[in-house]
Structure 1
């Protein structure tokens, strides 16, 4: 038996960073759906949360899974579900781009805490500021 534990911190935003997910109740509904859909697809989604214009996920990749396919499944299905259920007034979509960074076992709890506290975090900092910090902190050029 193979043992695999590869944690990925995934961040993706709404198309053009439009704040489609503009209420707490809507966000809770969307995060719950993403978590359930991930489970149905065999994706281990440890934590999901975000704010009005973006989503953070902590994922543990399984054997035979890759980042691109997991992202495609999560974003594509959730976008379809949001539109099918008319949860936003305009047509909803996620931005094509995303961030994915590996997370060492020793940092998993810190990432969970960071994701868990998105509501509080974004009372002080915009997604644009968070985005810039993420780029710099992880040496994205």
Structure 2
């Protein structure tokens, strides 16, 4: 007698969630140096991947960072940002890149994009040096909040490094 198995259909979760995360360095003396920024960005991409998300690009300027990810919907964005900040701060401090203790400021921005915007966002993040020749981080960040129509109180934004 031959047994025939009935195919089982199991529901799956399918998604494409693209998020740009932005946060700033705490304190004027703790700046991301061009001497070690590539190592930091690679390390952060590794954190993103190890947490089950897809790193698309990590880049920034001396006082802030942009992380573009394909978000795994089964994991919280806030947990990812917490882990990136904690682990990357420990990485910078253990490497002795700076005299004194490195830390990220509290808070972050997170902005969502569609599939058709990936290349544009990638290029924007890739060209941070070019953007910050004409625009401060404060101008950039408030521009994102305005573009995405996020209500905010300037008293509770970052400590600005200008």
**TM (normalized to structure 2)?**
0.80
Query: What RMSD in Å do the two structures reach over aligned CA positions?
Result: 1.5
Change in 2 beyond 3 A, CA 1:131/1:18: farther
State the partner residue of 1:36. Answer: 46
The match for 1:3 among 14, 26, 33 is 14
The match for 1:118 among 128, 131, 138 is 128
Highest Rg: 1 or 2? Answer: 2
Unaligned runs of 5+ in 2: 1-11, 152-162
Residue 37 (structure 1) shift: 2.4
Residue 95 (structure 1) shift: 1.0
Whole-Å separation in 1 of the counterparts to 2:134 and 2:86: 30
**TM (normalized to structure 1)?**
0.91
Residue 19 (structure 1) shift: 5.1
8 A contact 1:11–1:57 mirrored in 2: yes
More off after superposition, 33-42 vs 43-52? 33-42
Whole-Å separation in 1 of the counterparts to 2:13 and 2:115: 18
Q: Which structure shows the higher strand fraction?
A: 1
Q: Which structure shows the higher helix fraction?
A: 1
State the partner residue of 1:89. Answer: 99
Unaligned runs of 5+ in 1: none
Q: What SS does the corresponding residue of 2:74 show, helix, strand or coil? A: coil
1:15-61 Cα deviation digits (max 9, x unpaired): 1465511x322211211111122223322111110000111011111
1:79-109 Cα deviation digits (max 9, x unpaired): 1111111111121011111000111111111
Q: What SS does the corresponding residue of 1:15 show, helix, strand or coil? A: coil
* Runs of 4+ deviating beyond 4 Å: 16-19
